[in-house]
Amino acid sequence: MNKGIWYGIGAYAAWGVLPIFWKLLQHVPALQIVSHRIVWSCVLLCAVLALSGQWREFRSAVRQPRVVGIYLGAAALIGVNWFVYVWAVNAGFIVETSLGYFINPLVSVALGVIFLRERLRPWQWLPVGLATAGVLYLTFIYGALPWIALTLAFAFGFYGLLKKVAPLGSLYGLTLETAILSPLVLIYLVTIEWAGEGAFLHMGLLTDALIICAGVVTSVPMLLFASAARRIPLSLVGVLQYIAPTLQFLIGVFVYGEAFDLRRLLGFSIIWVALLIFGIEGWLAHRAQQAVVASEQQSPA
């Protein structure tokens, strides 16, 4: 099997089982977890750049004000996404976080239409409409908007939108994003430490080790994803991305026993059908495009 496929499976499987890791830190406030996640990710990524001899090239690439401006926005969005996700997992909303990542591809499509003037193929409108109907139905049965799912989907959707126009690769981009956020969260961590409320170095060696590992579990899947994206078609990446929310959903329901009744099953099923249609349509469109390209290559000059 192509190495890129294994890298992609590894990345999405790691993201899928992350709820189990964050649950181990349930006794630590979410903002502290995310702050340490940012700092230790930055440390690890800078070490990777230094050890691979890319530090000078990275510094040269990030000196342009336009680059910093784009990644300032990306850093804010990924920070929001990480905080809401960690808080929701440890507050018992893993199923709703999975919903956010199930609908994220369709949100990304909608953002592309609105901001990049991309045009949807006729059959792409159906899954977008179905997903909207599913969210509205879940809103009705919840009695409120599923704000966790929508925040995750839209924060990551806008993050992806910025990354489409961002000039840096995944490694340089994530390093810069965590470097932008690190001074702010370090101020927060020093402040709570001064107030005697810090968790790091005060809750035992296991907690300290898990906090440091937050950087590893953040950075390693990102590096695997970057390697996969370079080796396999985007259409295949699109299929693999459903591994993560599927695992999150199964963990939420069967490992942590989160509520999931027939009414919620109906709402999720509407969205799953939308994703199935979306995936089949994309696969057929990709096949048709490949056939056209092959035909043009075979035709006489």
Considering the chain, what is the average pLDDT of its residues? 88
Q: Range of 45's domain?
A: 3-298
CA 68-72-73 angle, to 5 degrees, is 130
pLDDT of residue 238: 65
Residue 196 burial class via C-beta count within 10 angstroms: exposed 0-12, middle 13-18, buried 19 and up: exposed
237, 229 contact by CB (below 8 A)? yes
Of these ranges, 71-80, 95-104, 168-177, 238-247, the one predicted with the greatest mean pLDDT is: 71-80
pLDDT range class, residue 150, cuts 50, 70, 90: very high
242, 236 contact by CB (below 8 A)? no
The DSSP output letter for 200 is: T
Whole-number Å distance between alpha carbons of 285 and 273: 18
pLDDT for 50-106, tens place per residue? 999 999 999 999 988 889 999 999 999 999 999 999 999 999 999 999 999 988 888
Whole-number Å distance between alpha carbons of 286 and 147: 33
SS3 content of the chain, % helix, strand, coil (to 5): 80, 0, 20
pLDDT at 13 over 80: yes
Number of domains in the chain: 1
